[in-house]
Amino acid sequence: MYVCVCRAVTDSEVHDCIADGAKSARQVRDMTGAGGDCALCVRKICAMLKRSDDLVTSA
């Protein structure tokens, strides 16, 4: 599924960035370009980062 339609970035690409150490929407943007145009996807990216962080802290 596309997270960022403007830059054609998928959710799996964002998950890969998070797995590679991205901790903020800015870092995801720097790695993929997602959020660099209209920024409508930034909320989705932040939610994905939070879910990832919640999984790590609950483990």
Which residue bears the tokens 């150490």? 21
**Residue 46 identity (one-letter amino acid):** C
Res 59: pLDDT: 60
The pair of three-digit structure tokens given for residue 14, joined into one six-digit string: 């964002």
* Whole-structure pTM value: 0.88
**Residue 43 and residue 9 in contact, taking contact as beta carbons nearer than 8 Å:** no
Res 12: pLDDT: 97
The pair of three-digit structure tokens given for residue 16, joined into one six-digit string: 């890969």
| DSSP H stretches of helix in the chain | 11-19, 25-32, 42-58
Per-residue pLDDT of 2-59, as tens digits, reads: 999 999 999 999 999 999 999 999 999 999 999 999 999 999 999 999 999 888 776 6
Res 50: pLDDT: 96
